[in-house]
């Protein structure tokens, strides 16, 4: 595959770009201290205060790749994780080949080559475990970070990214950009620093998963003339959902699931025919909660004497149930998809703006 043959060149360009971006960021903040990030790890903060020039070392203890990513090579994960550390600034990955070599030498010498001993040997600040999986078109990365004395402190982070690219010849997924993005998002959560990658030219933030569910259609046959937008609720509701996805996907604070991925989640609970012109039912919400979806969008499209009213609602799953985060409405004054889509763009942008 031609795209894959150029992988090394791709990584080299990315590394050069990241290093260039880091240099620009550092140049813009002369004299700024290394401890401007709140890692919530006391030992790390102490080390930063003592030596602002030393990178925080990370040892990769394990990489686990899910069954839906059998075509993903672990070396790709290592490379993506290394790029994520470079782009975060002040982090450095101990090369896995070096770790393996030292481990073998220690064993030959009859010395302790346990994971903790290796981390101490390289003066590491963190030990990282990486788990990668895919749900149809969504990449998920779970990172577990060990730190502190004897590496007894444990923190986890989960990052998601939509897989945007496929090989034009074989129609196979091209994972690299999504892999890097999901790792960055997971690592930022694991070290409890949501702004860890905010300095990049294209800022990266932890982006919780968001699913677009049904929009309830409320037509009133007594209002004349009848609008064509309500004539076929099955078709027009899907048009509304696709438009919501189009605009919501531009927001870098959420990972918006596409409908193929959403419906595959439903299918695992034997629910195969979601009705997009109705509010989500209990089965849909149960399935989304089981897949650790954090947010969903629903709403109404109701006919009135002035035309129609579109209302979108952002809802969050919580331990106590459901919490409405935000509600935005707009008057639809023209019976055309062009006008409806334009208004959807405004409503979705306002709904997801924090």
CATH, residue 240: 3.40.50.10610
- Give the alpha-carbon dihedral of 177, 181, 184, 190, to 10 degrees: -130
pLDDT in tens, 229-243: 999 999 999 999 999
Q: Mean pLDDT lowest for which of 69-78, 80-89, 167-176, 251-260?
A: 167-176
- Examine the domain organization and report whether 79 and 215 are in the same domain: no
Q: Which of 38-42, 92-96, 276-280, 329-333 has the lowest mean pLDDT?
A: 38-42
Q: How many structural domains does the chain have? A: 2
- pLDDT score recorded for residue 35: 34
Give the confidence band of 344 by pLDDT, cuts at 50, 70, 90. very high
* 274 and 140 in a common domain: no
72 and 174, same domain (yes or no): yes
Give residue 163's pLDDT.
95
Checking if the pLDDT of 183 tops 80, the result is yes
Specify the pLDDT at position 3: 41
d(CA 68, CA 183) in angstroms, rounded, equals 17
Which band of pLDDT confidence, cut at 50, 70 and 90, is reported for residue 53? low
Are both 139 and 260 inside the same structural domain?
A: no
Segment 233-258 shows an average pLDDT of 97
> With contact defined as beta carbons under 8 Å apart, do 174 and 167 qualify?
yes
Q: Point out the least confidently predicted range of 11-15, 185-189, 296-300.
A: 11-15
Give residue 52's pLDDT band: very low, low, confident or very high (50, 70, 90).
very low
Give the mean model confidence (pLDDT) for residues 290-307: 97
Asked if the bond preceding 225 is cis, omega within 30° of 0, the reply is yes
Q: Are residues 169 and 291 in the same domain?
A: no
Rounded to an integer, what distance in angstroms lies between the CA atom of residue 51 and that of residue 45? Answer: 10
The order of strands in the sheet holding 56-65 is 91-93, 56-65, 126-135, 138-147, 153-162
Backbone torsion region of residue 31, taken as left when φ is above 0, otherwise alpha when ψ lies between -120 and 50, otherwise beta: left
Nearest to 54 by CA among 97, 89, 4: 89
Domain interval for residue 237: 209-352
Taking the model in full, what pTM does it have? 0.83
Indicate whether 186 and 42 sit together in one domain.
yes
> Stretch 174-198: mean pLDDT, rounded?
96
User: Given pLDDT bands bounded at 50, 70 and 90, which one contains residue 54?
Assistant: confident
Mean pLDDT of the chain: 88
Distance CA 250, CA 260 (A): 18
pLDDT band for position 13 (cuts 50, 70, 90): very low
Q: How confident is the model at residue 171 (pLDDT cuts 50, 70, 90)?
A: confident
Q: What is the pLDDT of residues 216-232, one digit of tens each?
A: 999 999 999 999 999 99
Question: Is residue 196, in this structure, part of any structural domain at all?
Answer: no
Q: Is 21 domain-assigned?
A: no
pLDDT in tens, 66-100: 999 988 999 999 999 999 999 998 899 999 999 99
Same domain, 153 and 246: no
């Amino acid at each position: 595959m031609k795209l894959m043959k150029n992988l090394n060149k791709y990584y080299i360009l990315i590394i050069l770009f990241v290093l260039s971006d880091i240099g620009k960021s550092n140049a813009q903040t002369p004299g700024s201290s290394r401890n401007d990030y709140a890692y919530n790890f006391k030992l790390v903060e102490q080390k930063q205060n003592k030596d602002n020039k030393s990178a925080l070392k990370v040892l990769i203890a394990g990489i686990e790749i899910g069954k839906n990513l059998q075509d993903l090579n672990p070396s790709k994960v290592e490379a993506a994780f290394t790029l994520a550390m470079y782009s975060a600034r002040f982090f450095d990955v101990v090369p896995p080949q070096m770790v393996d070599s030292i481990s073998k030498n220690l064993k030959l010498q009859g010395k302790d080559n346990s994971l903790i001993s290796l981390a101490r040997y390289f003066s590491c600040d963190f030990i990282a475990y990486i788990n990668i999986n895919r749900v149809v078109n969504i990449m998920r990365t779970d990172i577990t970070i060990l730190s502190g004395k004897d590496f007894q402190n444990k923190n986890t982070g989960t990052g998601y990214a939509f897989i945007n690219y496929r090989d034009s010849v074989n129609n196979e997924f091209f994972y690299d950009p999504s892999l890097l993005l999901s790792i960055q998002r997971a690592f930022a959560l694991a070290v409890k620093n949501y702004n860890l990658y905010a300095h990049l030219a294209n800022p990266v933030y932890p982006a919780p998963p968001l699913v677009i569910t049904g929009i309830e259609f409320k037509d009133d046959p007594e209002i004349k003339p009848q609008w064509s937008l309500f004539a076929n609720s099955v078709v027009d509701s899907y048009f509304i959902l696709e438009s919501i996805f189009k605009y919501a996907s531009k927001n870098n604070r959420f990972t918006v699931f596409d409908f193929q991925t959403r419906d595959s989640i439903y299918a695992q609970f034997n629910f195969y025919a979601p009705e997009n012109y109705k509010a989500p039912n209990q089965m849909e919400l149960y399935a989304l909660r089981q897949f650790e979806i954090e947010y969903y969008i629903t709403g109404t499209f109701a006919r009135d004497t002035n035309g129609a009213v579109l209302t979108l609602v952002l809802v969050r799953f919580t331990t106590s149930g459901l919490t409405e985060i935000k509600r935005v409405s707009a008057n639809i004054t023209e019976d055309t998809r062009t006008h409806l889509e334009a208004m959807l763009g405004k409503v979705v942008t306002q709904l997801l703006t924090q």
